[in-house]
A and B are shown apart, each in its own frame.
Chain A
Amino acid sequence: MAEQNWKENRSSFFASALGPLLWTLVFFIVPMGIVWAYSFGRNAGLTEIDLVGTLDNYKRATEWLYLSIFAKSFGVAAMVTLICLIVGFPVAMAITFASEKWRPWLLLGIMLPFWTNLLVRTYALMMLMGSQGYANKALGGLWGGASWLKTLIGLEPLPTWEPVQLLFNNFAVVFGLVYVHLPFMVLPLYSALDRLDRSLIEASLDLGAGHFRTIMKIVVPLAMPGIFAGVMITLIPALGAYLTPDLMGGTDSQMIANVIERQFKRANDWPFGAALSFMLIYAMFILIALQGLRKKPAETH
């Protein structure tokens, strides 16, 4: 169905376009434009910023200290994405091949946490992972069980259980981000797997491939668009995560968003914060462009 030329029905076009376009201009493009302008500015006094067109902020942002925080953020986000993919793929498979009766409920089970408040979920996780929390108790129980087994076969019992520090370190940040982002990964994977032609899987099984081989050679390649969508949809928010590293991380688990926040709330260096913000946005653009590059050869088939 062809789209209508806007000139043919100007009144309808303006009626629908005016609101969204104006809103986007005033409340998105202008604020982002100011940040961009500030990133070339310099602090002059407490509240004033001179727009002098300097590149000093970017020069500082590419110093080793900040580059290493960028690299670390990227590493954490990549690790979170990988874990989400490994954990989420079987779940998406299970939803796809579930019976008609169960599928909507499984989907709902994945989506409900996605709708639940992020802060509430983070707090719930922190409660469990505290040094007196249930995660530690469960680990202690396992430890005790292992110790008991060892005495049973006549070995020395294990030393007494010391609660481990599960919170306020890098492990907690990765764990918390996986907890928060898992639904993001499962949903696009599911929608890709759902579209898959099942006769291809049947053919592979009929021709003698095992289930594992069929999944690796048939299902995964066919679900690639969904896998890439899931990776992007997990990687991008994980890269810019603020709350999880702030609440669950230790002093060495700062991610880039925390550094940006500090420039605005505590260090009061807005131009430098603006430059860091735009570095993060450019990083997103590069990721999205990379995904775009991948798409094109696939379409020429």
Chain B
Amino acid sequence: MSDIKYILGSFGDPDEMMHGIEKLQENNISIYDVYTPMPIHGIEAKLGIKRSRIDIAAFCFGITGTCCAFALIYFCAVIDWRVNIGGKPSFALPDFIPIMFELTVLFCAFGMVLTYYASTHLFPGRAPRVMDLRATDDRFVIAVDAKDNTAHTVIDGLLKDAGALEIKYNERKYISYE
């Protein structure tokens, strides 16, 4: 049994999986992670995952965009090369607004999404850290670290009780993509 790294409870139904999480938690078994083919609402609260702070990042990136756009236009049109258009003022703020808005959106979107990719370690060509191939298809998988939780038969029983269709004992952490 000592070669087993992770125990996977594979569920066919998200509600049963949620039930499985509760069961494990009642028995003080820590959950490593849960892999699902779709977002499960309310799971963060159960697993004690904090609210994402990506919205703060998004705001900061957005405001940076606004400032950059203003600085660029102000520098070009007011400081560096004033164009005399019928004697109208060079510092025409209403005309600056469309570009300031567009760059706010541009910086916010790219900054936020790149932060998201960085924080969740997503980038082109990254080896997928997948434990069960069906977790992106029709299975809802609870992964339990087998080294930290040694009562394997108890875990097995709890998962089966909750409605797990299949229990897997993985000797490798992730499936090889080689």
Pairing of A with B:
no
Using a CB–CB distance below 8 Å, which chain A residues touch chain B? Answer: none
